[in-house]
Amino acid sequence: MKSRQLGNSGLEVSALGFGCMGLSFPNAPTKEESIKLLRSAVENGITFFDTAQGYGENELLVGEALEPLRKEVVIATKFGFKDGDGRLGLDSSPKNIKAVAEASLKRLRTDVIDLFYQHRFDPSVPIEDVAGAVKDLVQEGKVKHFGMCEVNANTIRMAHAILPVAAIQSEYSMFYRDPENEIIPTLDELEIGFVPFSPLGKGFLTGTINADVELAKTDARNMSPRFSKENREANQALVDLVVSIATDKNATPAQIALGWLLAQKPYIVPIPGTSKLHRLQENIGGTDILLSNDELNKINITLANIKIVGERYPVQMRDTAEKK
């Protein structure tokens, strides 16, 4: 697989990463199956793995799976919640950042964190203090690069002035294009990498979830207004577009969604997650999708005429998820 640079940080990763969070969700594979899947990802060329303190036992799983392959991979993890639990609120105090780093190093079975993200902006802690704490960890050799998730342009600029930001992680796909307004121009200017999560629109862009599909009661998408039956029906025009392009390109809808993202900027590295080997291999095929300028222009013109209906998060989660 081809590699990409996350901005001008010098951090080189595979063009596609692996979002590990789902391997710690209800109905996830067994630990043994998950370890096998993560190692298969490396065998198939993926070198970039994303986890977080806030993903339950996920760091332990990633640490065990990748320990024998540690020199071949880049591991990103995150800090920013009290006791690693988003339900308990935010905590990006310098003391907590450093405590999380020490604990994550142990769980990940490594002596350095390649990319350490602030999981969510904490309005109670000046971003300069957050960047300063991570800078201390960089100087101590415990962290290589600093990242931030779901922040606005002004916050990025303030943090970047203290410690260069290697990457910003936010949701971005054909299903959610808000980063194009202010985030991507800022990343262009400051030469910062972009790591989109949910690049397949939480599965919507795969073409397998229409209004008639009944989501399991344990499915986290039930909490998202975007995935109500009515909104899935309203947003079907987007899926129809992706399916149509996939048919023309002899590809799957998921591969088109990933190929479109990769075509937007050379510093974009999506991190789709999956629990199935055949989906992993399908996603990897998205790195081979080549869309011409004409094709991209046609897609973007069509996208501009499709209004996406439904918020990403329920009201009670919106402040934590989106407040900048």
* Residues with catalytic function: 55
The pLDDT value recorded for residue 324 is 36
Residue 320 has pLDDT above 70, yes or no: no
Pick from 47-56, 63-72, 100-109, 204-213: least confident: 204-213
The pLDDT value recorded for residue 319 is 52
Residue 319 backbone phi and psi in degrees, to 5: -65, -45
Residue 318 has pLDDT above 70, yes or no: no
Q: Which helix (H) or strand (E) holds 225?
A: none
Q: Which helix (H) or strand (E) holds 151?
A: none
- 186-210 mean pLDDT: 94
* CB within 8 Å of 132: residues ≥ 6 apart: 94, 162, 163
Token pair, residue 127, equals 């971003």
Count H helices, E strands: the chain?
12, 9
Token pair, residue 128, equals 């300069």
Which has more pLDDT, 222 or 173?
Answer: 173
Mean pLDDT across the chain, nearest whole number? 93
With 0-12 / 13-18 / 19 or more C-beta atoms within 10 angstroms meaning exposed / middle / buried, residue 16 is buried
- Coil vs helix vs strand at 19: strand
Predicted confidence band of residue 315 (pLDDT cuts 50, 70, 90):
low
Token pair, residue 136, equals 């201390």
- 263-285 mean pLDDT: 97
Distance CA 320, CA 85 (A): 12
The separation between CA 175 and the C-alpha centre of its own chain, rounded to angstroms, equals 14
Candidates 155, 148, 157; CA nearest to 189 is 157
- 16-27 mean pLDDT: 93
DSSP state of 152: -
Residue 259 has pLDDT above 60, yes or no: yes
Distance CA 116, CA 164 (A): 12
From its phi and psi, is residue 109 left (phi > 0), alpha (psi between -120 and 50) or beta? left
Signed CA dihedral, 182, 146, 311, 22: sign only: positive
Q: In the block, which residue shows the tokens 């969604």?
A: 257
- Using one digit for the tens of pLDDT, what is the confidence trace for 221-255? 878 888 888 889 889 999 999 999 999 999 999 99
Residue 141 has pLDDT above 70, yes or no: yes
Number of Cα atoms under 13 Å in the Cβ half of residue 32:
0
Domains of the chain, with CATH numbers?
Answer: 3-322 (3.20.20.100)
The pLDDT value recorded for residue 322 is 42
Predicted confidence band of residue 72 (pLDDT cuts 50, 70, 90):
very high
Residue 316 has pLDDT above 80, yes or no: no
- Using one digit for the tens of pLDDT, what is the confidence trace for 111-132? 999 999 999 999 999 999 999 9
Distance CA 223, CA 220 (A): 6
Cβ count near 210 (within 10 Å): 14
